[in-house]
Structure 1
């Protein structure tokens, strides 16, 4: 199929968050996690048909859409879920905050492995809860969660573990044995897990397999909130359509009660539902082509970044977000340094580690090569 991932599409004057940050400046935006790829033709066609209908009243997630989600979980992840477990939401950041407030009471503790996508760091504090931060560590050449350190972080009032898997920003896909260790730990301490799995469809390393945390055991199923969305995979972030999978009825009721009057019910997500149904129903060939392209970008980037003195990048297992170690450059502000060189990256400090930068390689190879060339020249000039 002609996917056009190499096509450079002009996103100026489209009110793009990603591109408008550097409006009028010669800076390549590789920061926020949306891609520069045109959506799958099947999604665009479905949206066109819905727009042509001309009536955009309140809507609901229909049976066909929910069955597509059920089938997707079974076919891709061997996880049997029920439609009634689904809670539709306008976004996953919202869901993180609802999860914190529905599981932990004010003043109680939430465990957060870091570095991590920054809303994880903000959600406990915004809800009047405490955070216990646990560092990912490099061990045997890969990022790992140290269970002993996790054990030391637990207090009597700890109620929730926020998990990001596949991990943003380090790109890990947790193995079954790692997930089982987390499950045993959570059962020991009677913790609920909120597992953000939004990048689950973007596995780059074909030796890895995404395993939903909730699928591990009866305990995991009954003490978990799983968060997913087509937004990252199919570049639909602008539509605001996500869902939580909450098998435990009491937990699901608490979640829904917490959102009432604050987070909109899903009756205003017509366009998001339309796009999601098309993505999950017809977008699989496009997704496979996307993965092939992203793997090519990833392999190029690993070699290119590690060829620049002072920069280091470990191969990713998932996502299109590179996690680049810049500590050897000893820069006061790495983000500003590369912005001045014409490349806009996300600061590692935002995720919990100032020694890193995050680079979004969900773009054309042409643009990526141009950005890397600018980075290499800036480092060489720093000398």
Structure 2
């Protein structure tokens, strides 16, 4: 087994400025650190690179189908890590998780029906509803015992509501839902007869060692039969650009509707994406464990330093490498523009539903994180 050193793997800066990176090309030729979109600056595990090289060396890139071994690995992973027994026929492979959100909205609701979404939330939640021209109602995400959670008591359920979009671990906010919280959500959806599309793409990135990811569909048979679960190795192993995601749909009626909506519009997963996903699940768990230790160090540094600054507040991040920073006390019109002018490119909170917040991606080398914090500190000091 390869011995991985976190400092060797994750501390060395990687020049991404000429790599056709959306993250890094946004501020090309400007002295602004990109700490926004959710891909990491970490090189993928060697096993993924080696598997891709073997496929590239073969020299043919024709149509492919889901490898049986990848399906086996996914089933094993769900059972071993999340105590969830799934069947091969439940799995629908997708070239990305965002298309899964859009397919869920269009396949699980009719034109006259509506969708409930958390807010603030990852932007494609809102856009998937808008693009499908469904009515939207909101489940406000609020602080409850210092954790960001959907407020079911304040959730707007319209007569036409048919689908609830859910995100666990939460993006933004980093909350890992407890079992009792998930059971309350399951009761809520059963009471209102709602389907659930559960985005669980960050499930492997649990930073609190005492926390445990619980798939919504694993709660009980009723939850399983009303749900579509979306997962992927993309955030975990930094292979988002390859596009390999999975929808897990136990209900055969919902699965047929999902596949029918996909047909002829959403392409199949490409062969290199399958290759990378299989290598990730088969050989890269040691790399992931070291990545989590590295991210925990960054989280601790970030929470300590952000909360030591005037005007800013960062609540504890239980999962993900994304910090949801409360800048509502900052005496500026736009916190996003304020920090961008200071040389730090964050995700604007307005995209998620709250313009007084910013989201910071801390999946980077320490040099980048330290410089980003230095620039933010200098900007804050200029106001005091």
Q: TM bucket by the smaller chain?
A: over 0.9
Match of 2:368 in 1: 367
Distance in 2, Cα, partners of 1:204 & 1:186 = 28
Choose the corresponding residue for 1:122, options 99, 122, 127: 127
Q: How far 1:333 moved relative to its partner?
A: 1.3
Match of 1:138 in 2: 143
Match of 2:176 in 1: 173
Does the Cα contact within 8 Å between 2:34 and 2:346 map onto a contact in 1?
Answer: yes
Does the Cα contact within 8 Å between 2:147 and 2:316 map onto a contact in 1?
Answer: no
- Asked if residue 50 in structure 1 is aligned to residue 55 in structure 2, the reply is yes
Match of 2:332 in 1: 331
Normalising by structure 2, report the TM-score: 0.97
Q: How far 1:336 moved relative to its partner?
A: 1.1
Matched position secondary structure for 1:296: helix
Choose the corresponding residue for 1:34, options 26, 34, 39: 39
Query: In the TM superposition, what whole-angstrom CA distance separates every residue of 1:82-105 from its partner, at most 9, and x where no partner exists?
Result: 011000001111010110010111
Q: How far 1:9 moved relative to its partner?
A: 0.7
Distance in 1, Cα, partners of 2:42 & 2:149 = 32
Distance in 1, Cα, partners of 2:314 & 2:108 = 36
Match of 2:278 in 1: 277
Distance in 1, Cα, partners of 2:325 & 2:66 = 40
Query: Moved runs in structure 1, 4+ residues, more than 6 A?
Result: none
Q: How far 1:136 moved relative to its partner?
A: 1.1
- Asked if residue 24 in structure 1 is aligned to residue 29 in structure 2, the reply is yes
Does the Cα contact within 8 Å between 1:107 and 1:128 map onto a contact in 2?
Answer: no
Query: In the TM superposition, what whole-angstrom CA distance separates every residue of 1:4-61 from its partner, at most 9, and x where no partner exists?
Result: 2000011111111000000001110000000000000111111111111111111111
Distance in 2, Cα, partners of 1:28 & 1:320 = 16
Choose the corresponding residue for 2:234, options 231, 236, 243: 231
Choose the corresponding residue for 2:185, options 168, 176, 182: 182
Distance in 2, Cα, partners of 1:241 & 1:139 = 34
Choose the corresponding residue for 1:253, options 253, 256, 260: 256
Matched position secondary structure for 2:158: coil
- C-alpha root-mean-square deviation of aligned residues, in Å? 0.9
Q: How far 1:265 moved relative to its partner?
A: 2.8
Match of 1:102 in 2: 107
Match of 1:15 in 2: 20
Matched position secondary structure for 1:239: coil
Structure 1: where are the runs of 5+ without partners? none
- Asked if residue 156 in structure 1 is aligned to residue 156 in structure 2, the reply is no
Matched position secondary structure for 1:101: helix
Match of 1:300 in 2: 301
Q: How far 1:141 moved relative to its partner?
A: 2.0
Does the Cα contact within 8 Å between 1:116 and 1:169 map onto a contact in 2?
Answer: yes
Distance in 1, Cα, partners of 2:147 & 2:268 = 41
Does the Cα contact within 8 Å between 1:111 and 1:134 map onto a contact in 2?
Answer: yes
Distance in 1, Cα, partners of 2:333 & 2:97 = 33
Q: How far 1:142 moved relative to its partner?
A: 1.9
Normalising by structure 1, report the TM-score: 0.98
Does the Cα contact within 8 Å between 1:234 and 1:287 map onto a contact in 2?
Answer: yes
Match of 1:65 in 2: 70
Query: In the TM superposition, what whole-angstrom CA distance separates every residue of 1:217-259 from its partner, at most 9, and x where no partner exists?
Result: 1111111000000000100011011010001111000001111
Aligned length, in residue pairs: 379
Distance in 1, Cα, partners of 2:301 & 2:77 = 31
Distance in 1, Cα, partners of 2:201 & 2:144 = 25
Match of 2:79 in 1: 74
Match of 2:195 in 1: 192
Distance in 1, Cα, partners of 2:12 & 2:65 = 35
Query: In the TM superposition, what whole-angstrom CA distance separates every residue of 1:52-73 from its partner, at most 9, and x where no partner exists?
Result: 1111111111111100000000
Distance in 1, Cα, partners of 2:166 & 2:206 = 17
- Asked if residue 354 in structure 1 is aligned to residue 359 in structure 2, the reply is no
Does the Cα contact within 8 Å between 1:87 and 1:244 map onto a contact in 2?
Answer: yes
Distance in 1, Cα, partners of 2:331 & 2:220 = 45
